Amino acid sequence: MPGLPLNLCLATCLLALAPAMQAQAASVPDFSPLDTAIRAFKQDSALPTGTAVVVLKDGKVVFEAYYGNADLQRGTPVDARTLFYIASATKPMFALDVQLAAREGRIAANPSLQAMFPGVAFRGLEADRIHLRDLLVHTSGIDNAGLGWATAFSGVHDTGTLRALVAQSQPNPDAPTGRFDYTNLGYNIASVWLDRVDGRPWQDSLQARVFGPLGMRHTTARASEAQARGWPVALPHSAGSATPSTPLTLRKTDATMHAAGGVLSTAPDLARFLQAELAAARGDATPVPTDVLRASQERQVATEDRYLDFARDGYAWGWYTGTYKGQSMRHHFGSFAGFHAHLSFMPEAGVGLVVLNNEDVLSARLTAAIADAAYGIALGDPAADAAIAPRFAALRADAGKLREAVSRQREKLAARQWRLSLSKDAYAGRYRHPLLGTVQVRLLDGGVLAFDWGVLQAVATAYDDPDTARVEFVPGSGQVVAFEVADGHASAITFDGLRFARID
């Protein structure tokens, strides 16, 4: 301002800027009530596993916080550098990668299953009527338990066996082609095809077309890369475990990081992914083709479903569609032994949320409570703050009930009596499937039967039917294994429709 002393000019300028500064400060939502509630829950739950939270609004991070521990035994705290396994929240990334590959002309846009696997004689499937789109939006009508076990759990597979397993796909009697039925299978089949036609593993495709361009520098589809780079990875815990403070023994390896659930990432990197999604929804330029990113958000099939607070009216390319708090929402969650992930965004409201946990039982409800508060605050709901305390109080009550329920369930399982027709040592041996490898059954001290299959290890407990055992290949999820017994000899085991013949 000409003619004014410098000190007066500065004072006048500051006064002129004050209303704008105050308005800007007032526009930043106050997440401190949510922050306080999460910290209190971690302290009160007696299981302070890790939780990472990032809230986006209008393209910017408006709240970012880290709670609890990546490793309870060592007391290693979670921070912005901590990688979490995100399980099925991988799907929107892989689906986007496929669409980008088609945009580049590296693959056909929507080939039939038969065109994807020429020369394969699919039994009972109309492979000309099933297309790549069906695989990615869960309308393929295919069933294939073996492929799911190999890619997500045992890790016993190679290029040849994966292709042979795809050839064993059969019609799903409960969900014909065209009907939505959520499963990992379509993504697993698509990845086997993509590896061949794209000329590189799907993990490298994701890095080249999605992670790299979006600046996701601490994200990988290979467990070995995180280890080689020295990136801190949260260890899996479970409130449903007999020893919740001890990490679960089942860990993800490169062989079990699959296209339907095979990414390790940090909260900031996943926020970058959502920032791109929100920018594309606004029509803004993004580091990947904006029209492809925006098209990936469009609903492809209708469904009526609900998961906790989240209504689902359809499925896009790797995203559930629906409404939440009166706003259109895209979301996908991921759950696996010891982990729970949440990715969601509101295209029109410009709000997004990342919540990552290294615990698999309490965390789904904790995440729902966080989402309720985070979206309420970000949307300016005047009742949001008042709803936080009762919601978290109910969560504490649920945690107590869960501990009691887990204890009762374990007592029930322990009370079962074995109904084996032979002595336990008669069941020990190796059982082989031509495509799924070998399951070894061992008799341990104390008469305990142990099962080893690829990266899976489990101790069996009794089950109600004759010559059966209950096995938790995946912690918290029991499988009934049936022994075939004839002439005083156990000749095979069967579970989930898969038969392994005894070889010694």
| pLDDT tens, position by position, 193-209 | 999 999 999 999 999 99
The answer, yes or no, to whether residue 24 has pLDDT greater than 80, is no
Residue 107: predicted pLDDT: 96
State percent of the chain over pLDDT 90: 87
345: phi then psi, degrees, rounded to nearest 5: -160, 155
Ramachandran quadrant class, 59 (left: phi over 0; alpha: psi -120 to 50; beta: rest):
left
Query: What does the pLDDT look like over 354-364, one tens digit per residue?
Result: 999 999 999 99
* Interior angle at CA 489, CA 485 and CA 490, nearest 5: 55
Q: What share of the chain is helix, strand, coil (3-state, %, to 5)?
A: 35, 25, 35
Decide which of 373 and 399 is more confident. 373
Query: What does the pLDDT look like over 38-63, one tens digit per residue?
Result: 999 999 888 899 999 999 999 999 99
* CA-atom Rg of the chain in angstroms: 25
Residue 292: predicted pLDDT: 97
Q: Minimal CA–CA distance to 374: which of 53, 11, 137, 129?
A: 53
| Other C-beta atoms lying within 10 Å of the C-beta of residue 195 | 19
The answer, yes or no, to whether residue 14 has pLDDT greater than 80, is no
The answer, yes or no, to whether residue 403 has pLDDT greater than 90, is no
For domain 31-95+201-401, give its CATH number from 3.40.710.10, 3.40.50.150, 3.90.550.10, 1.10.10.60: 3.40.710.10
Question: Please, are residues 323 and 312 in contact by the beta-carbon 8 Å criterion?
Answer: no
Residue 173: predicted pLDDT: 94
Query: What does the pLDDT look like over 121-166, one tens digit per residue?
Result: 999 999 999 999 999 999 999 999 999 999 999 999 999 999 999 9
Query: What tokens were used for 398?
Result: 């649920």
In whole angstroms, give the CA distance from residue 81 to residue 165. Answer: 37
Ramachandran quadrant class, 73 (left: phi over 0; alpha: psi -120 to 50; beta: rest):
alpha
The answer, yes or no, to whether residue 25 has pLDDT greater than 70, is no
Q: How far is CA 78 from CA 5, 35, 210, 342, 394, in A?
A: 52, 15, 25, 17, 25
Torsion sign across C-alpha atoms 136, 102, 262, 167: positive
The answer, yes or no, to whether residue 367 has pLDDT greater than 90, is yes
Residue 407 pLDDT class (50, 70, 90 cuts): confident
Question: Please, are residues 318 and 96 in contact by the beta-carbon 8 Å criterion?
Answer: yes
| Other C-beta atoms lying within 10 Å of the C-beta of residue 503 | 9
The answer, yes or no, to whether residue 120 has pLDDT greater than 70, is yes
| Other C-beta atoms lying within 10 Å of the C-beta of residue 114 | 18
Residue 376 three-state SS: helix
In whole angstroms, give the CA distance from residue 100 to residue 116. Answer: 17
DSSP letters for 186-233: HHHHHHHHHHHHTTS-HHHHHIIIIITTTT-TT-BS-HHHHHHTT--B
Q: Minimal CA–CA distance to 277: which of 142, 19, 96, 152?
A: 96
CATH topology identical between 31-95+201-401 and 108-197:
no
On average, the pLDDT of the chain sits at: 93
Residue 44: predicted pLDDT: 87
The answer, yes or no, to whether residue 302 has pLDDT greater than 60, is yes
- Using CA atoms of 253, 256, 262, 266 in order, give the dihedral in degrees to the nearest 10: -20
Torsion sign across C-alpha atoms 410, 412, 413, 414: positive
* Interior angle at CA 397, CA 392 and CA 400, nearest 5: 130
For the chain, what are the domain ranges? 31-95+201-401, 108-197, 424-502
In whole angstroms, give the CA distance from residue 41 to residue 348. Answer: 32
Query: What does the pLDDT look like over 176-232, one tens digit per residue?
Result: 999 999 999 999 999 999 999 999 999 999 999 999 999 999 999 999 999 999 999
The CATH code of the domain at 108-197 is 1.20.58.710
The answer, yes or no, to whether residue 172 has pLDDT greater than 70, is yes
Q: Which amino acid would we find at residue 330?
A: R
Query: What does the pLDDT look like over 440-483, one tens digit per residue?
Result: 999 999 999 999 999 999 999 999 999 999 999 999 889 999 99
Q: How far is CA 194 from CA 106, 109, 130, 465, in A?
A: 10, 12, 16, 43
The answer, yes or no, to whether residue 8 has pLDDT greater than 90, is no
Question: Please, are residues 456 and 439 in contact by the beta-carbon 8 Å criterion?
Answer: no
The answer, yes or no, to whether residue 18 has pLDDT greater than 90, is no
Residue 42 three-state SS: helix
The answer, yes or no, to whether residue 418 has pLDDT greater than 60, is yes
Residue 414: predicted pLDDT: 87
pTM: 0.93
DSSP letters for 398-426: HHHHHHHHHHHHHHHHHHPPP--SS-GGG
Query: What does the pLDDT look like over 235-270, one tens digit per residue?
Result: 999 998 888 999 999 999 999 999 999 999 999 999
Q: How far is CA 253 from CA 25, 316, 503, in A?
A: 45, 29, 27
The strand ranges marked E within 325-428 are: 327-336, 339-346, 351-357
